[in-house]
Chains A and B, each alone.
Chain A
Amino acid sequence: MLELGPLLSRAFQALQSWVILHGVPPLAAWILAKAIQVGVLVLLVSLVPMVLVYAERKVAGFMQARLGPMNVGPYGIFQTLADGVKLIFKEDIIPVGSDRLMHIMAPMVVVSPVFVCFAPVPFGKGLIPIDLDISVLFIFAISGISTIGVLMAGWGSGNKFSMLGGLRGAAQLVSYEIPRVLSVVPVLMVYGTLSLKSIAMGQVGLWHGFLPKWFIFYPFIGQLAFVIFLIASVAETNRTPFDIPEAESELVAGFHTEFSGLKFALLFLAEYAYVFLSSAMAVALFFGGGDGFTLGGWIPSWFWFLGKTFAIVFLFLWFRWTFPRLRVDQLMQFCWKFLLPWSIVNVGLTGLMILLRK
């Protein structure tokens, strides 16, 4: 009864018919409708990182036995807002001797794919902006564009540390992209589709009456796939323990050394939005999306989805404040000699399982 999907679509149709009734040409109405959809999405994706930044600081505080931000608002909940305002009004510095165009474009290239990536994510019943047939592939493809932005940032700063950071970052992103994609392949094989929505739908139901039919509960392959996906996602978002590209103590913050003000804010936003995206993908792929097993009828699916997503976001935050940073060669070896072989083994095992079940 609290499902947002039908509600929203009804409101949306009413709005559309009202607009057409008042003599707006259909093309314009269509564009308007899409604009509203996009606007909602952009708003969501821009707001979530603010919550995440706050959460991160709180989690960090609790883990280090302190309180975290407390002064701005009750329990410091407006801290991020204040930080944002500060960043907006900060001076926008473009270093002398940098490639100005690249420097300006880099944050945009990094941040804009994130918004596009959220388009096929099923937030709940009827809450999917665009139901693409190839949404998993689409998300991987689009999020790959951000890597170009990292390289542009490294090049455009005209600074050798930034350049090294950009190179390292790109190498890391490209490398971890491979096990990340391969770790999802078992899911695709089991459900026989590339659509996140269909995958999430396929996980509704119970095994033996108590175990949800989520992919994570497939013996061995589910857990292995999820662990690889999680590790690779952490690396993809450049977070500790894989934050080589922006290691403060080694590279003076890597590719975003020279960025300040709003551009820095954009880079930051991209990072947290990617954390959220990865978690949302993990939920849709491994945790049944909006499926609420026995309690499904009482609590709306979008709530389930967001709840699970934030639980996984918490894993990301937990990692950051628990593990030390890896060395750059360890990082690469871990990817190519551990994650990649195991993800391939996982694909093989899944094939075997499908064959045996036939």
Chain B
Amino acid sequence: MVDYAYLIPLLPFAAAILIFFFGRWLPIKGAALGILACLTSFGISIDLLMQVMDGTLKLPHEIHYPWFDVGLFQFEWGVLLDGPSLVLIVAVSGISALIQIYSVGYMHDAPRFKRFFSYLSLFTAAMLALVLANNYLQFFIGWEIMGACSYFLISFEFERDAAGAAGNKAFLTTRLGDLGFYAGLLTIFFVIGTFNFTQIQSHLHDGNVSTHMSMIIALLLFCGTVGKSAQFPLHVWLPDAMEGPTPVSALIHAATMVAAGVFLVARSYGFFLQAPQALEVVAWVGGFTAIFAATIAVTADDIKKILAYSTISQLGYMIMGLGVGGYSAGLFHLTTHAAFKALLFLGAGSIIHSVHTNDIWKMGSLSKQMPATFWTFLSGTLALVAFWGTSGYFSKEMILGAAYSSNHILLYIIGCAGAFLTSFYMTRAFSLVFLGEPRERDRFAHAHESPWSMIIPLMCLAVPALGLGWLMHDPETLARFFPMEGLKEVAEPRWVGLVGLGSGLLGLVVGGALYLGSLTFVGQLAAIFAPINKLLKNKYYVDELYWAVFVRPTGKLAQALSWFDFNVVDRIFVDGFGWLATLWSKIQSWFDDHIVDGLVNGGGWSAEALGDMARRVQNGFVQNYLLVITMTLVAMLMAMETFVGKH
């Protein structure tokens, strides 16, 4: 069965193509095909997992096929099946299948239905290809297809300007990170000469790569992660990306695409291990992002924005976990987060579907109307706030433990504070949405439970959200799935985890006390802390800062250049020469009229020459440009003849 592992990304890919071209004639406009493909991939993945579990398949397992040759370099494509990729393909294909089932209900009367499913399938295929890639080139291809798909999907409802703008923003922001990633790839190829993970790993192991080079490569690759996983300076796109349909948010911006960035760090961990400074950078960026995004989420009013900021924050946790040496902790949290964040987003989608608003202040007391959504959302929330026994509890505790045991006390404190904030804002959102009094009677009266096709995925996701931690939390399983040589994980004191849990519970209590009680008190509190509130509401003014620092100056620069072009180049060079020419001819004509007739020809000639010179600055005459090219060619040939030609 493992020889068919390449089918895992291929099936959704084929489904995407088929749906795009022939979706009109397929059952449920092609959605059935996409779901079937994903389920098959999921089945294969589960089968592989079972084989690994009963020991018939040894990890890591690599399959490669020749792809193309450039000179002496052979490129190949292939499948690298190891612990992280196995866990991720199970998660991605499973979650994607559930989300597609959910979307059938959610999107049933949306325009461009079939295209939506085609994009979803293509996206899943790209993510699976990325996860299974055995080299950076294939990884990069999957990465970029995902970027393009996220653009399509975020701006799926492109009739609204906001959606289009959000798509652009997501695409351009992640592109900024991709630039670093790309430079990193080039550096890797330049230094090591291969893209294959295993070979790179062995080169690193043999010490063929200097520490400085490792650091450069690691930091460049981390740029990609920062873009894709929405870490601090480039996090701005993710909240805006909530303009896409909710299943899209669940698929791309919670469970899979942002995970690609974390996965990149995991795949390149060899480089990071060789360069502790780079690892330090990673840890601090992650930690800062975790607390930074959590504070913003506290004041957000849009349920999807809250979840988006919580995603950024949780990604920050993972990055921090990887940065402090908790390789397995980070990947574990990645897995659990994929499950419960998809659940939360789908739950939010169900709520939005029912009450037709995103604003949590317009909801309230929905537990009565939507019991199934309520219970599943509750389980997702508990997992997110790391309530004891849920999957989030184990993974977050491991990250905090790793931070503590690697002597990053400050990061540990930040993590605990983040846990407190997470509980707080989730309790706030949960209370305002499901509990308390209905604030808008009309909406409340019209709220209804979602159709079965949406409820069933929620229930399916609630199971791993609650129970996944029990399956995987013991160290042997983790070491089996997330092995990393040269990294020792120290057991931390018991109280470390308890403090984390405690701060989470404290958040729950505080949040509950505030938002289940009188909301007027909350209002007063907000009035007291008005400046902070305003700062948070405006997301620390990062967008405005970017606007002022990058976008505006670029525009200004363009304006200045165009002004220069119009006024200086045109006026001084072209018009100026023209004016000079005119002046000169005027003098000449005066000369001619009054003194000598014979000089007129000379004057005319000079005027022509001057005009000609002016024109030559930018003459739009193709063959002239060609002439310059030819001159260069001649120069190069001459140089060759002089320096190389002497055989």
Complex contact flag A–B (Cβ < 8 Å): no
Q: B-contacting residues of A (Cβ < 8 Å)?
A: none
